[in-house]
Structure 1
Amino acid sequence: MRGMKAVSQTFSVVVAFVVAAVVLAAALYAYSQYQVLSAPPTSSTTTSSGPSKVILPYDNSTKTVYIKLVTLSSSSSQFNFNGTSFGSMIIYVPAGWNLNITYENQESLPHNLNLVQNNTAIPQSGDIAEDGKILLTIGATSSTYQLQGLSGGQSASGLYQDIAPGDYWFACGITGHAASGMWVDVVVSPSVTQPYVVVSSS
């Protein structure tokens, strides 16, 4: 009887250890995906008054910033870019620069990526075109962005040149996805000297 109890206790400890290891591995994978996919840092700074600022990869000679956004399957929401939702990621770009954008969908639900010159603070409509002007669509076309997107595991790229100062979004155009949180703020300004990203905790 004691032998059975000891085996049972040992089995319980092993199961608990395996579960903890799996949870830790999943958390580390999600963290590493965000770090690698959101912006390979060239440098970063943190202040006591705010979140970390991570410099995005860029080519100063061609005034091009390289942006990679990924819809992570490991995020708490299927409506995410790099694990963030509802504009908690803000990308800052110098005015007049080129945006070399890669979008990858790791979710089973189809998604696409649109650069929108927005005229509302947050997406309010099922159709992002009602909240601003769509400047670039990746993973769909200008006529199919509300219905079609990249399937899980697919990626696509696009280039937008000489972006003017102003406020923009990266947003999924499929009906209702942006309003469900699938958007990133983009701020373009002549006062920004090198492109960077900030992610707030809220």
Structure 2
Amino acid sequence: MNTTALIAIVVVVVVIVAAVGAYLALFHKSSSTMMMTTTSTMLPTTTTSTTSSTTTTTTTTSSVKLPPGASELPYNPNNKTVFIYLVVSVTGPQFNYNGTSYGQMKIYVPAGWNVMVILTNDQPIPHNANIVLNDTLTPNSPNITQDGKILLYVGDNPSDYYSNGVPSQGTASAMLTNIQPGYYWIACGVYSHAESGMWVDLIVSNSVSVPYSIISSSASTTTSTSTSSPPSWG
């Protein structure tokens, strides 16, 4: 081997050794400085709990005690008006209000109230309904003005109450205001109808607090001259 070849080999070896040394030095530095850092972040969790409360308001209305068999009538307590619905029925007696006759129906109203009468006629012949301040025990004349004074006309008027009335399937209404204590009839003014049983007793008293009606099985015995007060129901 000549000198030139030997020198070349030595140079190659030196270069290789230098390269390997540089690589090892770099690897050692990287290994010593490399760090693995793990960061754990805990996020707070907030839970909001909402409780809904339900409030129930109960309104209690005290009922007025009524006598046995009585039915409270519809009324407006604000303007003190009672509504009396009467139907001339095709069933029951021929001359009837709500199937009753001869004062079987008795209506009680507080004194000073307004009385509205609503009359419906289901029969083929005309009928009316009048509030009468009576002066006899029962209607005993074909003309009701012979037995008292008409205060309210329903389905008729002062000139023809004895012949005119609500036609078949018709309805009429009228109101008497501020009725005073006493005994009255609601009676048909058509000639002889009241005398034939077509009337209701209407009792107005300071001892009555709510309007109501009672239907009895017997005819009326109420008298306009009675000094006794109606039962203090209501």
TM-score scaled by length of structure 2? 0.64
Alignment-derived partner of residue 186 in structure 1: 202
What is the CA–CA distance in structure 2 between the aligned matches of 1:97 and 1:81, rounded to whole Å? 22
2:12 alignment partner in structure 1: none
Q: What is the rounded CA distance, in whole Å, between the counterparts of 2:163 and 2:104 in structure 1?
A: 25
The answer as to 2:97 corresponding to 1:81 is: yes
CA–CA distance in structure 2, aligned partners of residues 46 and 125 of structure 1: 33
Deviations 1:88-132 (CA, angstroms, capped at 9, x unpaired): 000000000001110011011211110000001100111101100
Partner of residue 158 from structure 1, selected from 174, 190, 196: 174
Q: Establish whether residue 63 from structure 1 lines up as the match of residue 80 from structure 2.
A: yes
Give the conservation status (yes or no) of the 8 Å contact 1:167–1:187. yes
Tell me the number of residue pairs that the alignment of Structure 1 and Structure 2 aligns.
156
Partner of 1:146: 162
What secondary structure is seen at the aligned counterpart in 2 of 1:134?
A: strand
More helix by share: 1
The code of the aligned residue for 2:75 comes to Y
Would you say 1:53 and 2:70 are equivalent positions?
yes
- In 2, Cα distance between the equivalents of 1:59 and 1:149? 27
Moved over 2 A (4+): 42-47
Structure with greater Cα Rg: 2
Aligned to 1:109: 125
How far did residue 85 of structure 1 move?
Answer: 0.2
RMSD over aligned Cα atoms: 1.5
Q: Using a 3 Å threshold, how does the CA distance of structure 1 residues 165 and 174 change in structure 2: closer, same or farther?
A: same
The offset of 1:46, in angstroms, is 6.0
In the alignment, structure 2 segments of 5+ residues that lack a partner are 1-62, 219-234
Please report how far the alpha carbon of residue 44 of structure 1 lies from its aligned counterpart in structure 2 after TM superposition.
8.0
Q: TM-score, normalised by structure 1?
A: 0.74
Considering fraction of residues, name the structure with more strand. Answer: 1
